[in-house]
Structure 1
């Protein structure tokens, strides 16, 4: 199951980006994100965390990529600090799909195998208004084989986005 989710997380954004609508139909402003997550989703689902992110407006000169900064604060005192990119890949009316990739460091690496970790995700967003949207996200964190062990972990995150 883990391999299937990893494959989907990596290939779906590429496929959707080939058929993505024009950028004028996608969100154009910056966003602040706050949400709650369940980690170890396909194992014990025994870790909980808070996700906070700043998502910059799309950069037209760089394929409408959105620079992002992400902080994950887990219930057992573990923190993940990362920078990355996000891409809005599809929109229909008030619903959109976004893929993201982050590289960062974790302060307590014994559970994940290395200090350097990569977080990738795919999310569905629903715009409630011009200023607010809700998001459901599936994510995967892994050290990409940099550590002696690479257990990885999956998450499910529910978030609210404030658009400005």
Structure 2
């Protein structure tokens, strides 16, 4: 199976397993996210990927921070597995702005300089309905100087969110 088909199969299987869960078992106000990304957008766009994430409901006792789990599956076989936090920093009617930070591991690190990588992003979300929103995100992945090299890479991601 070609890598893009593997990426699609993994993303769809993850989404279908989440959607088959009873929404009563998951905290109300949480979100599932699936999107497509282009990487190296400020250079020569050399990689495409699927982003899949679970975004927990805001924790009111922790400044509204939202714990997250992120999987990035790139078309050239790289996988990034991360956990982090997100914060909605601006909301107005159907529009909001979200900041996020993740720490995780990448399984093929030769292009990024280290196995441990950090992903930060800023995103604009638009609520289409009470349950569905669209997101445009700009992100940056970097090893924070942990590796011998630290080339970093920027991404542009278009995603759909399902809120339950």
TM-score w.r.t. length of structure 2:
0.83
SS of equivalent to 2:151: coil
Following TM superposition, the consecutive aligned residue runs of length 4 or more in structure 1 with deviations greater than 2 angstroms are none
Mapping for residues 3-152 of structure 1, pairs under 5 Å:
29-152=29-152
SS of equivalent to 1:54: strand
Q: How many residues are aligned here?
A: 137
Measure, in 2, the Cα distance between the counterparts of 1:115 and 1:97.
30
The Cα of 1:46 is off from its aligned counterpart by: 1.5
Measure, in 2, the Cα distance between the counterparts of 1:29 and 1:46.
35
Measure, in 1, the Cα distance between the counterparts of 2:71 and 2:152.
18
Q: What is the aligned-residue RMSD (CA, Å)? A: 0.7
Measure, in 2, the Cα distance between the counterparts of 1:43 and 1:81.
24
Measure, in 1, the Cα distance between the counterparts of 2:93 and 2:130.
12
The Cα of 1:48 is off from its aligned counterpart by: 0.1
Q: Deviations over 1:25-82 (max 9, x none)?
A: xxx7100000000001111112100000000000001000000000000000100000
